Amino acid sequence: MSIVNKRRKTRQISIGNIKIGSDSPITVQSMTNTPTQNVQTTVNQILDLEKAGCEIIRVAVPDIKAALAIAKIKQKISIPVIADIHFDYRLAIASAKAGADGLRINPGNIGNQKNIKLVVDCAKEHKIPIRIGVNAGSLEKKIEKRLGITAEAMVESALVNIKILEDLHFHDIKVSLKASDVSRTVKAYKLLASKTDVPFHIGVTEAGGLYAGITKSAIGIGMLLAQGLGDTLRVSLTRDPVEEIRTGYEILRALGIRSRGPELISCPTCGRCKIDLFKIVQDTEKALLERSSKIKVAIMGCVVNGPGEAKEADIGIAGGDGKGILFKKGKIIRKIDQDDLVEQLLNEIDNIEKMEKPNGKKE
Amino acid sequence: MSIVNKRRKTRQISIGNIKIGSDSPITVQSMTNTPTQNVQTTVNQILDLEKAGCEIIRVAVPDIKAALAIAKIKQKISIPVIADIHFDYRLAIASAKAGADGLRINPGNIGNQKNIKLVVDCAKEHKIPIRIGVNAGSLEKKIEKRLGITAEAMVESALVNIKILEDLHFHDIKVSLKASDVSRTVKAYKLLASKTDVPFHIGVTEAGGLYAGITKSAIGIGMLLAQGLGDTLRVSLTRDPVEEIRTGYEILRALGIRSRGPELISCPTCGRCKIDLFKIVQDTEKALLERSSKIKVAIMGCVVNGPGEAKEADIGIAGGDGKGILFKKGKIIRKIDQDDLVEQLLNEIDNIEKMEKPNGKKE
């Protein structure tokens, strides 16, 4: 029994060298929040995101300067760039000419069918896909008036626009259906799933800050993935976009779909804990961010339960009174002073990673 | 179409004045991480948790001092207390005598059936329920040897122990089946659901730090709740337990099951944003924590999309260049300087809350 259903069958599209849909990996993407025309600042953010595992980056294109900046940005980064277009179809065309690997248009505000045709012609010429990015908050007025701000209206908007593109013999499409609540978001994707084989870009929009944002994204994206829906994902947080990437991978890992870097499990501590576990966990979490091995690390509050409860971890520490013990696969190795715990744990992880590298078993 | 299935039918138990199971609200609980015998420190943490909405609190009872402290702690707090017992059944008995409103025992380490009978006799005498708290990491050796550290083994442990208690004519039971991964946790509850009508305490154990912890808890608890499983929940984070409560309510809100306090939606910002939205969101998020009204607040990065995308919010702000606009239900009210945005937003929220109080409509 798996908790994740078989993945929905979709057509496959390419954004630069990244494939989306069919049996390609479910990719993790983000969006910059720097002014796009500010090339160096934007490049720096994208490089940070690449390091965190971001596989596709989207940039806002509010004006022609931003569109032109795409050419310069692309010279300095490795991942494909999607131009995010609202209102003005001409910016889509300028972005494609500047080398964007994909276009995102919002059918609710891009204007009439004639504008869409011009964007499609341009996308065809540059061989780049278009995301139909439906947002509950900005539906076509006609559809909203008839169906309200509902999942059904979002699906109708998507279907109308897929048809417009396909009638123009353009099939290089993905779709997103985002609302700021989990319920409409999940419903909309479920409703659309059987009506088209277009791959899905999934996410909950305007999810919010730390707790609400991660929670809503994890539940919404998680429920969709568990139902086999979703080909690329973006977690939306009012935070540094690097945190979106981390959360995205945590969602994929939690469902056993993909993993990236070490897994850290840690207990919440309780009245039995006699060391500063929160700090130890935070320091270790930070240090592990740069690692790529798939080692499982446990950090537990007490010696009594710790190693036993974490016996499936490759390595771990369990807190004692001002001290901790190091354990491997649940077996106690040695005692360590509290102040040296993180350093020695990381050294041991180094050793395991080195031993594992030659045969590439875990990398 | 709801994304949440009908709730599983269960028997109902009471922990102090809080009902668990059947049609009672799905409650949010946490566990202190202070030394329980340190009464004032523990009371202070519980009072913070009460303020955040914690409805049941669990305390570790590693020794007799901790058990005796329960009597003093209970005098100063309002919510029921559960004593968390490992290894030594005598501490369960001492806790019950000290006034604990419930006991949590770990069947994997509480010892033989004779010990369990003594705990049951005591719980009967004091009319308090017992949680059978199965943890994947500390299963009974016999069961683990035969079935491995699997969901099936967790379910078997639960069923064996439910039978021991029920053979002693004790029915005041809830069960938890926690693993440190979402997959086994969800599978175990699903497997057990049809085999007993005992209410479920749900959660993912040792979920970890901020990103992994919230993500795993949100997906695991979220998937269970969406399937109608779960009568009380605990989010487990290696963080201040107040954050566990916040995350717990965010999970319930995301699924439309229960809500507490204002809802804040906010956009992730992009290259269009020209104010420091992250800080505005963090300040507002913090200020709203103490509020109890169910107002919906939106904080959006740009004037162009903001009010439109957030037209379902009761009130919100959208960033401009060093300024912001205040809007209500998507309609623009007035411009405000960036530095005054949060204060004026909170004032407006005050006004809405005052207007709504007389008829109690939204509280």
The model's pLDDT over A139-166, given as tens digits with 9 standing for 90+, comes to 999 999 999 999 999 999 999 999 999 9
Let me know whether B239 and B324 are in one domain.
Answer: no
Let me know whether A281 and A194 are in one domain.
Answer: no
Q: In chain A, count of helices (H) and strands (E)?
A: 12, 15
- The residue among B266, B278, B296, B304 with the most chain A CBs within 10 A of its CB, best to mutate, is B266
Residue A108 within a domain: yes
Residue A4 within a domain: no
Residue A73 within a domain: yes
Domain span holding position B321: 263-353
Write out residues 46-105 of B within 8 Å (CB-CB) of A: 59-62, 66, 84, 86-87
Q: Which residue among A212, A305, A311 sits closest to B86, beta carbon to beta carbon? A: A305
Q: How many CB pairs under 8 A join A and B?
A: 261
- Characterize A239-273 residue by residue with b for buried, 16 or more Cβ atoms within 10 angstroms of its Cβ, and e for exposed: bbbbbbbbbbbbbbbbbebeebbbbbbbbbbbbbb
**Residue B357: per-residue pLDDT:** 64
A290 pLDDT exceeds 50? yes
Let me know whether B188 and B220 are in one domain.
Answer: yes
Task: Say whether residue A24 is in contact with chain B using an 8 A CB cutoff.
Answer: no
Number of domains present in the structure of chain B: 2
What average pLDDT does this structure show over B245-268? 93
Let me know whether B240 and B274 are in one domain.
Answer: no
ipTM over 0.90: yes
**Residue A361: per-residue pLDDT:** 46
Let me know whether B343 and B214 are in one domain.
Answer: no
What average pLDDT does this structure show over B252-260? 94
Let me know whether A324 and A229 are in one domain.
Answer: no
Residue A3 within a domain: no
| B121 class by beta-carbon count within 10 Å (0-12 exposed, 13-18 middle, 19+ buried) | middle
**Residue B274: per-residue pLDDT:** 87
What average pLDDT does this structure show over B308-337? 88
Residue A358 within a domain: no
Measured in angstroms, the CA of B359 and the nearest CA of chain A are apart by 27
Task: Name the domain boundary from B188, B220, B254.
Answer: B254
Residue B31 within a domain: yes
Task: Say whether residue A186 is in contact with chain B using an 8 A CB cutoff.
Answer: yes
Write out residues 275-314 of A within 8 Å (CB-CB) of B: 277-278, 281-282, 285, 298-301, 304-305, 308-312
Let me know whether B101 and B123 are in one domain.
Answer: yes
CA dist B255 and A211 (Å) reads 14
Residue of A nearest to B221 (CA): A219
Measured in angstroms, the CA of B90 and the nearest CA of chain A are apart by 17
Residue B2 within a domain: no
Let me know whether B193 and B321 are in one domain.
Answer: no
Residue of B nearest to A248 (CA): B215
| B330 class by beta-carbon count within 10 Å (0-12 exposed, 13-18 middle, 19+ buried) | middle
A359 pLDDT exceeds 50? no
Between B350 and A44, where is the model more confident?
A: A44
Task: Say whether residue A239 is in contact with chain B using an 8 A CB cutoff.
Answer: yes
Let me know whether B248 and B296 are in one domain.
Answer: no
Between A277 and A66, where is the model more confident?
A: A66
- The residue among A145, A215, A260 with the most chain B CBs within 10 A of its CB, best to mutate, is A215
Looking at residue B285, which CATH number applies to its domain?
A: 3.30.413.10
CA dist B110 and B160 (Å) reads 14
Let me know whether B269 and B249 are in one domain.
Answer: no
Residue B228 within a domain: yes
**Phi then psi dihedrals of residue B136, to 5 deg:** -55, -35
CB contact under 8 A, B254 and A223: no
Task: Say whether residue A169 is in contact with chain B using an 8 A CB cutoff.
Answer: no
Let me know whether B111 and B240 are in one domain.
Answer: yes
Other CB atoms within 10 Å distance of the CB of residue B263: 21
B86 pLDDT exceeds 50? yes
Task: Say whether residue B258 is in contact with chain A using an 8 A CB cutoff.
Answer: no
Task: Name the domain boundary from B254, B289, B323.
Answer: B254
CA dist A254 and A250 (Å) reads 6
pTM for this entry? 0.94
Helices B113-126 and B151-167 cross at an angle (nearest 10°) of 60
Instruction: Specify the DSSP class assigned to residue B51.
Output: H
**Residue A363: per-residue pLDDT:** 36
Of the listed ranges A40-44, A127-131, B2-6, the least confidently predicted one is: B2-6
Q: List, in sequence order, the alpha helices (H) in chain B.
A: 39-52, 64-76, 89-97, 113-126, 141-147, 151-167, 182-193, 210-226, 241-254, 277-288, 306-309, 341-356
Question: Could you read off the pLDDT of A93-149 as tens digits, one per residue?
Answer: 999 999 999 999 988 888 888 999 999 999 999 999 999 999 998 899 999 999 999
Let me know whether A282 and A246 are in one domain.
Answer: no
| B9 class by beta-carbon count within 10 Å (0-12 exposed, 13-18 middle, 19+ buried) | exposed
**Residue B358: per-residue pLDDT:** 52
Is residue A290 within 8 A of residue A316, CB to CB? The reply is: no
Looking at residue B103, which CATH number applies to its domain?
A: 3.20.20.20
* Chain A residues closer than 8 Å to B54 by CB: none
Of the listed ranges A287-291, B29-33, B62-66, the least confidently predicted one is: A287-291
* Chain A residues closer than 8 Å to B182 by CB: 3, 254-256
Task: Name the domain boundary from B205, B232, B254.
Answer: B254
Question: Could you read off the pLDDT of B262-299 as tens digits, one per residue?
Answer: 999 998 888 888 888 999 999 998 888 778 788 999 99
